[in-house]
Amino acid sequence: MTSTGPPPAHLTRALFLRLLAALPAGAVLPSFAQQQPAQPMQQTKMNTRPIPSTQEALPVIGCGTWIGFDQRPGTDEYRRLPGVLDALFAAGGKVIDSSPMYGRSEETTGELLAALKQRENREAFLATKVWTSGREAGVAQMEQSFARLRTQRIDLMQVHNLVDWKTHLATLRGWKDKGRVRYIGITHYTASAYGEVEAVLRAEKLDFLQINYSLDAREAEQRLLPLAAERGVAVIVNMPFGGGGLLRRLRDQPLPAWAGEIGCASWAQVLLKFVLSHPAVTCTIPGTSRAEHMADNAAAGAGSFPDAAFWRSHAPSIGR
């Protein structure tokens, strides 16, 4: 833990004060990044990439809500979460991804956005999922997501882990025609399912694929990412930190000298820059419940992204 001191340069004074207010009494503000930054992070606008099916610009760094947003009002963990959304929006991000399988995360997201009144101005791009079998059960679960998220329209509804995907995609196409959802897609998180994911991508017209991809899990490079690009499907990357294990292994190691050359001040930013270096990737959604980590993650979305040759020559062993 470090003493509070002055806020980093890319934080507004209002956001810094909000971070302080979110801390329990007597606590001090933790280190701003997931590790000590190698150099100060500069304020730069987050990049956007087009959603292929519409060309709508989507900021490249969003926020996942698994575990971190499964919190109840009145707890210290819940009180920290408004600062996470503040940091996301302040950096130019807007994608918030959830699921009914994430405990209370959808409900928490809806409460926080209602308090911040972000939905009225469309700063938030809400993505969630259906995760059940059968048409009636799927409709009921998705209606519950609308209620929990406190919205009349969801930006992206995804079939979670391909569960009963034929049934739910049929429902979602009708809802998309009616304007209840703007985009539809599928998700998975493990290489063992890539064969089925590939088959669905080839057979169905989709807006989005959400899939795992990281420096230590690169299997998606082989077929899925090229296929998504070929089919005009946007890609949201989950687990960019290798499920967290990769970042934990790296955080005590010094940053390589080349990290600063690509605008990275933390290992988290290096890992996110790697994911965003693939041209098929539209957005990545690292999960966090801490505002300082959200701001650190978001900084990776600014500036340029190295090409594949850079990663082959500079980071051949990271994650291996």
Q: Tell me whether residue 165 is exposed, middle or buried, using C-beta atoms within 10 angstroms of its C-beta: 0 to 12, 13 to 18, 19 or more.
A: buried
Residue 316 lies in a domain: no
- Residue 282 lies in domain: 58-297
CA 17 and chain centroid, separation: 25
- Cα–Cα distance for residue pair 146/154, rounded to 1 Å: 7
- Cα–Cα distance for residue pair 212/190, rounded to 1 Å: 7
The confidence score (pLDDT) of residue 121 equals 53
Percent of the chain with pLDDT over 90: 78
Q: How long a stretch of residues is the chain?
A: 320
- pLDDT tens profile 181-229: 999 999 999 999 999 999 999 999 999 999 999 999 999 999 999 999 9
Residue 264 lies in a domain: yes
- pLDDT tens profile 95-125: 999 999 998 999 999 999 999 876 555 589 9
Residue 104 lies in a domain: yes
Q: Tell me whether residue 112 is exposed, middle or buried, using C-beta atoms within 10 angstroms of its C-beta: 0 to 12, 13 to 18, 19 or more.
A: buried
The confidence score (pLDDT) of residue 5 equals 37
Torsions phi, psi for 318 (to 5 deg)? -65, 130
Q: Which residues of 20-53 are buried (b: 16+ CB within 10 A; e: fewer)?
A: eebbeeeeebeebbbbebbeebeeeebbbbebbb
Residue 49 lies in a domain: no
DSSP-assigned states of every residue in 25-57:
TT--PPPSSSS--SSPPP--PBPEEE-TTT--E
DSSP-assigned states of every residue in 81-142:
HHHHHHHHHHTT--EEE--TTSTTHHHHHHHHHHHHT-GGGT--EEEEEE-SSSHHHHHHHH
Domain count, the chain: 1
Q: Which residues of 68-87 are buried (b: 16+ CB within 10 A; e: fewer)?
A: bbbbeeeeebbebbbbbbbb
**Maximum CA pair distance of the chain?**
57
- β-pair partners for 214: 217
Residue 163 lies in a domain: yes
Q: Which residues of the chain have pLDDT under 50?
A: 1-42
The confidence score (pLDDT) of residue 123 equals 81
CATH code for position 74: 3.20.20.100
Residue 227 lies in a domain: yes
For residue 59, the 8-state DSSP code is E
Residue 109 lies in a domain: yes
Please give the torsion angle defined by the CA atoms of residues 134, 135, 141 and 147, in that order, rounded to the nearest 10 degrees: 180
- Cα–Cα distance for residue pair 138/143, rounded to 1 Å: 9
Residue 10 lies in a domain: no
Which contacts (CB < 8 Å, 24+ apart) does range 22-25 have? 22/79, 22/80, 22/82, 22/83, 22/291, 23/80, 24/76
- Cα–Cα distance for residue pair 230/155, rounded to 1 Å: 23
Q: Which runs of consecutive H residues, i.e. helices, occur in 119-262? A: 135-149, 165-178, 194-203, 224-231, 245-250, 258-261
